[in-house]
Amino acid sequence: MQQQGDVLIAPSILSADFGHLADEIQAVERGGADWIHVDVMDGRFVPNITFGPALVEAARRATELPLNLHLMIVEPERLIDDFAKAGADHLVIQAEPSATIHLHRVLSRIRDLGKSAGVALNPGSSLALIEEVLHLCDNIIVMTVNPGFGGQAFLPETLPKLSRLRHMCRERGLTPRITVDGGITTKTARAAVEAGADVLVAGSSIFATKDYGRAIRDIRASTLVSA
């Protein structure tokens, strides 16, 4: 039986009100968030452009919760030191060669900086991309939407990959956090957890509500799975 609280909730500030970002971050922290998820986009790996190190610095001042940065950028090796200095706790890079051809090197560098290192896989990307670096990953994000925009619908065809990833980690005696990002609501969270996720990134399903705390509690409660 999975107990409430085993699953971490990471509100994505991509869906927050940027004009009152510090207030928004503090509101989800009061509401029971475990991490703050920051989607960094460069307009190259994905079409959108979002946050840089200066905003991460501002977010760091607003909260003591871990800042979970998902770097949807080309050549993350150019910026990981800056994001680490700005206050990121977790630095997650895309596993696809179109992001970096130096996956092992970049993950190793993140760990050398004393930060939690991780990889993210797009819906169409194979687990084969990360098999050789799995031991360097503290956090693995399985994208359940195509990255670049908030508010998209959950892709259920990603669930088998999530299950295979959890099985692969168990076989190797590894215990990374497995995160699902995209389309997480009270209707999809349980399926993600049943498939193997233990961190849920949620954006509009929290920030589009009037009561962030209730939204976080409802998502967490929906993940309870009977034995």
Tens digit of pLDDT for each residue in 100-115? Answer: 999 999 999 999 999 9
Q: Could you tell me if residue 53 is inside a domain? A: yes
Domain enclosing residue 47, as ranges = 8-222
Mean pLDDT by 10 residues, the chain (227 residues): 66 95 97 97 92 95 97 97 98 97 98 98 97 97 87 91 97 97 95 96 96 97 73
Q: Is 182 annotated as a binding residue?
A: yes
Residue 78 to residues 83, 106, 109, 169, Cα–Cα distance (Å): 10, 10, 11, 29
- pLDDT value at residue 5: 44
Q: Is 151 annotated as a binding residue?
A: yes
CB 96 within 8 A of CB 122: yes
- pLDDT value at residue 152: 81
Q: How many domains are contained in the chain?
A: 1
Q: Could you tell me if residue 1 is inside a domain? A: no
Catalytic site residue 39? yes
- pLDDT value at residue 3: 40
Q: Is 196 annotated as a binding residue?
A: no
Q: Could you tell me if residue 227 is inside a domain? A: no
Rg, Å, the chain Cα set: 16
CATH code of the domain covering residue 24: 3.20.20.70
Q: Could you tell me if residue 3 is inside a domain? A: no
Catalytic site residue 211? no
Q: Could you tell me if residue 69 is inside a domain? A: yes
Q: Is 39 annotated as a binding residue?
A: yes
- pLDDT value at residue 4: 40
What residue type is 33 in one-letter code? A
Q: Is 218 annotated as a binding residue?
A: no
Q: Could you tell me if residue 78 is inside a domain? A: yes
Torsion, Cα 69 138 162 10, to 10 degrees, reads: -40
3-state secondary structure 98-112: CCCCCHHHHHHHHHH
Considering 34, 42, 138, 181, which one is annotated as catalytic? 181
Task: Return the DSSP state at 3.
Answer: P
- pLDDT value at residue 226: 53
User: For residue 134, which of 178, 91, 89, 98 has the smallest C-alpha distance?
Assistant: 178
Considering 34, 39, 42, 198, which one is annotated as catalytic? 39
